Amino acid sequence: MAGDRVNVLVTGGAGYVGAHACKALAEAGFQPVVYDDFSRGHRDFVRWGPAIEGDVRNAEALETAIRTHSAQAILHFAAKAEVAESLQAPALYFDVNIGGAVAIVQAAAATDVRSLIFSSTCAVYGAPGVSPIPESAPRQPINPYGFSKLAAERLFQDAESAHGLRTIALRYFNAAGAEPEATIGERHSPETHLIPLAIRAAMPGDFTLQIFGEDYPTPDGTPLRDYVHVADLAAAHVLALRRLLGGGGSAAFNLGVGRGYSVKEIVAAAASVAGRPARARSAPRRAGDPPELVADASAVKAALGWRPAHADILDIVGDAYRWAMREAAA
């Protein structure tokens, strides 16, 4: 361990949210140790500590990584995370997301790690009949991605009784934006997330965004989502980690700003920050898309003191746009 800094194993630390969390950890005085198979993560996103290449389903490799670096806690991001893909490949999602959770529990039990921050999702709620959604809402996922994350949450709950593993599950709504200085950001291949696609539709070229469904029971007919800046997500992980290392108990918290934006509003925001129209066309609804997902984030604010610093949608889209321009120029 370097000095008196706490070493933290970060699975999926070369990915979009994981890399931002590593930056936040380093700035807060922790030492992130990235564990990633680099199938979707990026080696150039590993900038704040060592990296280990490995499969999250490999409990022995995780145990070795923990022991080698004397990690005292785990931030678990490594997962498959696309709703549409999960509908096409449910076995893969259960294999990676649940299998990875099983391996995390085994490695933590073997090394006496007792603090875990889990990257969960609002998809565990499915299509709830309430908005904003509190943590007490029924968890009834409607796609394999949501089911796999809910199963992992349950496993971690049971692991506390069995092994003393305390877990804070952070249920993201829609992670968005980029590091404000545009040094890291959202880079997926293929890209499936709305904000980077809307930005691409507002940049020179012929890419046209598909709006999947304009007949939802929402003000403009397109789905409403709660977009939370990735830097704010990263900050929440640091607060959650401090709670557990300070002896705090397990919990599950929503992470969102409490305000929904429609697909058409995101397209308009992309056009605004780019200073040119965004090309878009109507397409049929996609399976597994609820009409509205907006967070009640009062619990995490009360428990951890978390407040989103980048709640304005133009700030979120603006940071994503600056990252996209930097990527295009590279």
Catalytic site includes residue 125:
no
Closest CA to 81 of 12, 153, 131, 158: 12
Residue of 16, 145, 227, 321 marked catalytic: 145
How many other CB atoms are there within 10 angstroms of residue 330's CB atom? 5
Closest CA to 225 of 234, 216, 235: 216
Say which residue the tokens 């890419």 belong to: 207
Q: Residue 145 corresponds to which tokens in the numbers above?
A: 């991605």
Residue 185 per-residue DSSP state: -
| 163, β-bridge pairs | none
DSSP readout, 248-317? PPPEEEEES-S-EEEHHHHHHHHHHHHTS---EEEEPPPTT--SEE-B--HHHHHHH----S--SHHHHH
Instruction: Give me the active site residues, please.
Output: 145
